[in-house]
Structure 1
Amino acid sequence: MPTYRDEVVILRTHKLGEADRIVTMLSRRHGKLRGVAKGVRRTSSKFGARLEPFMVADVQMYKGRSLDIVQQAESLGSYGADIATDYDRYTSASAMVEAADRLNEAETTPQQYLLLVGGLRALARGDHDSRAVLDSYLLRAMALSGWAPSLLACARCGVDGPHAGFAAPLGGSVCDSCAPVGSPRIAGETGDRLRALMAGEWDIVDAGSPHSAASASGLIAAYAQWHLERGIRSLGAIGSMR
């Protein structure tokens, strides 16, 4: 069919000509989409605000030769305004949509879409610390893409843990025998936090110390960027958010 509908998260936009935009979206059923939204930069546009980053919308698309055309957009989640007014939320959301863009280059699933929507909703509501929401999203998104880090057994030899070493190139936590020289060390509380972030055990995450939070964030950022094979530029703007 030349026309189709889907639920989407807006990942990023680019200007096209004087009044149009190219919109990159993560959809629920059609994977990652790129479409032209005509006239949305004009003040008279009826749906331009619904096609801004971090917004969730129901869109009608027309199948084009190279780029599809966005014909309609109805708001499903207006998270952009609440996120944009807070620096920590904004930088975390930027890193999330950038990671989603990278992870879903070839193929996506409804679970990736729902995970991103849930993360943006939590940021907009301020349910938890912004960096914790980002860290949990990155761990779960990597797992859905087939790169779940080992957080108990040694990622190399499989011996039961928990272990005190962590090596992103090897796949997560590692025992002392397998840990490369200079590998980061995981304190007990940091390991607990990593496992809680993966499982969504927010009572444990919210009660964690600033030191374990910063340590876990560093390990997660290194792990995600290693497996994506490119840096997540937005992480550089976060720095220490606590």
Structure 2
Amino acid sequence: MIKITDDIKEKLPRFKIGVIEYDDITISETPKMIKGRLQFFEQSLQFELETKAISEYPSLMEWRTIFKQVGTDPSKYRPSSEALYRRVKKGNSIITDNSAIDINNFFSLQYAIPFGIYNKDIIQEPVILSIGGEDSQYDALNGRLVNMGGKLVSSDAVGPFGSPIVDSKRTMITTDTTRALQIIYFTPSISNEHATEMLRAVEKMFIQVHGGHVIKSEVVES
């Protein structure tokens, strides 16, 4: 479903993403049991971050390097995984009332890499992951109009909709969503075998919480 363009292959020859497509899912308020598990994990990480610097997490630092390689300033535009870590470090909870977003954020914290999840019914194929041009922009979930020039961006036939920085409002997940596309932004240092294991863990938990089934799950390389 997703193609990685040649401009990424030239700058990031070992770049890879995970792609999972879900069908017949039910998005709801996050169940109390899952919310409790997330709160415990969040509190444990916050305690860890009291004595551990962001720079001590290899995956977070590797993503900063990826940004620099494609021309993005990681201090101005942080990878979403790093943004989550910094939010937890400040004592700000990342837990929402949307089960899909909470599960996505949980795995992003656990693996210290960006995750994206999108309403598949809104997306119009083909989907292309590229380095955005200067006219590439969208209304983001943070309420800002984000310019994606010189940044990794996923686009469909309508236009750009997602990135490892922040995603668009257009393809956001809601409680009305029944089909979803999940993109996992692996670091180049992760082996294909490990990446596949991570995919299986993610899809298993997602289905346990939301029902439905997996249509497709694969690692896509540059």
TM-score, with structure 2 as normaliser: 0.30
Of Structure 1 and Structure 2, which has the larger fraction of its residues in helix? 1
- Look at both structures and tell me which one has the larger radius of gyration over its CA atoms: 1
